[in-house]
């Protein structure tokens, strides 16, 4: 997880199930919105009205990471295995979540 400029990190964990949803909305005269809804939590990603190269980089990274997440979820589903909560390659021992 990347840290902001102030050194503080906020964390939000959204349990995803069949009722969770995502939505993308594009507008002609303003920046787009991307929303994730899970349970009673709604997270909307917004951008400043004036965009910079870093905003484009963030959007591309978001898309790449979401695609990788989808591939992993599908792999777990097809394998019939339950997720362990540990990152791939991390040994199941001390300090593992």
Last residue in a domain, options 30, 48, 66: 48
Task: With respect to residue 96, please indicate whether it lies within any of the assigned structural domains.
Answer: no
> In the structure, how many helices (H) and strands (E) does the chain have?
1, 3
Confidence of residue 86 (pLDDT cuts 50, 70, 90): low
Q: Using one digit for the tens of pLDDT, what is the confidence trace for 44-63? A: 999 988 889 999 999 999 99
Number of domains in the chain: 2
Spatial CA neighbour of 66 closest among 90, 34, 97: 34
| Residue 26 in tokens | 């594009």
Q: What's CA 67's distance to the chain center, in Å?
A: 10
**Full domain range(s) for residue 39:** 20-48
Q: Using one digit for the tens of pLDDT, what is the confidence trace for 19-41? A: 999 999 999 988 899 999 999 99
pTM check: above 0.85: no
Q: Is-contact 38 15, C-beta < 8 A?
A: yes
């Amino acid at each position: 997880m990347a840290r902001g400029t102030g050194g503080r990190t906020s964390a939000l964990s959204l349990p995803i199930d069949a009722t969770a949803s995502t939505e993308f909305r594009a507008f002609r005269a303003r920046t787009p919105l991307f929303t994730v809804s899970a349970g009673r939590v709604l997270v909307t990603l917004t951008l400043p009205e004036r965009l910079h190269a870093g905003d484009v980089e963030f959007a591309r990274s978001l898309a790449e990471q979401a695609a990788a997440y989808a591939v992993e979820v599908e792999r777990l589903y097809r394998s019939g295995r339950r997720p362990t909560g540990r990152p791939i390659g991390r040994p199941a021992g001390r300090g593992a979540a």
